[in-house]
Structure 1
Amino acid sequence: MTEYHPYAFLVVFLLAAVGFGLGPILLSKLWAWWMAPPKPGPVKQAIYECGLESRGRGAVQFKVEYYLYAILFLIFDVEVLFLLPFAVAFLDLPAGACVAMLVFLLLLAEGLVWAWAKGLLKWQ
């Protein structure tokens, strides 16, 4: 019976993981190339937008404040979801869990104070 290197299974798992990731991608590329070879032309390369010819710039500028508000909302909204199980099981939790939640709330408050100090909460 042959002895295998102790880390040989890691190499096998690594190759399997890469194969499972790249295999379908390579197969789909091969299938697309075989079933629909590229035939570039002026009509095929034209910009198509709902059957209408495009006019003007396609990019629309948004104010960064919209994104900042959305990110802040998501952060504090998700944090409230973390508070709900704590509130439900508050009386049955040990003191370490209460201290951990206090640290969590302090970090959350620090993020709110930081956003307020940076002026991110002022609508301009």
Structure 2
Amino acid sequence: MKLICISFLISVAISSLLIIVSTLFSKKTILDREKSSPFECGFDPKNTSRIPFSIRFFLIAIVFLIFDIEISVLLPLSIISSTVPPLIWTLTGGTFLFVVTLGLYYEWVEGTLEWIT
């Protein structure tokens, strides 16, 4: 028991020392205006480097993720097809696909899927 406590204290001491040393050497002490500004071939940038993010792109990415997760939810249905009666897993999968299709239809009617309005 004493050996385990000593090993634990040594490992805590070594990891704490490594954390302290890494934080001391990783800090930037000199903040230069040239280093913190965006680089554009030695010239001052004409416009900001931050481009506004398109919310439409975000919504289409969310729709893609929903359908990507849908595939991972429906794949196990083929595995359980031999143990569960076909009517049950067909109704379960069909209901799930119907709900996801209703969501897609709603997005389509709302105009979320149209890139240019």
If the TM-score is normalised by the length of the shorter chain, which range does it land in? 0.5 to 0.7
Unpaired runs of 5+ residues, structure 2, are: 1-14
Query: Of 38, 47, 52, which aligns to 2:37?
Result: 47
Match of 1:67 in 2: 58
- Is 1:35 matched up with 2:25? yes
% identical equivalent positions: 24
Q: What is the deviation of 1:35?
A: 3.4
Q: Is the 8 A contact 2:59 2:112 kept in 1?
A: yes
Q: Distance in 2 between matches of 1:62 and 1:33?
A: 33
Alpha-carbon offset, residue 91 of structure 1: 5.2
| Structure 2 residue matching 1:108: 3-state secondary structure | helix
Structure 1 unaligned segments of length 5 or more: list them. 1-23
Specify which of 106, 111, 114 is matched with residue 119 of structure 1.
111
For 2:49 and 2:27, how far apart are their aligned partners in 1? Answer: 29
TM-score normalized with structure 1 length:
0.54
Per-residue deviation at 1:115? 0.8
Distance 2:17 2:95 in 1: 48
Higher relative helix content = 2
Task: Quote the residue 1:93 is aligned against.
Answer: 84
Check conservation: 1:47, 1:53, Cα contact below 8 A: no
Q: Which residue of 1 aligns with 2:67?
A: 76
CA contact (8 A) 1:69 1:121 kept: yes
TM-score (structure 2 length as normaliser): 0.57
CA-based RMSD of the aligned residues comes to 3.5
User: 1:72-116: per-residue Cα shift (whole Å, max 9, x none)?
Assistant: 122113312332332455354234444432332232122112212
Match of 2:102, SS state, is: helix
Matching residue's letter, 1:114: Y
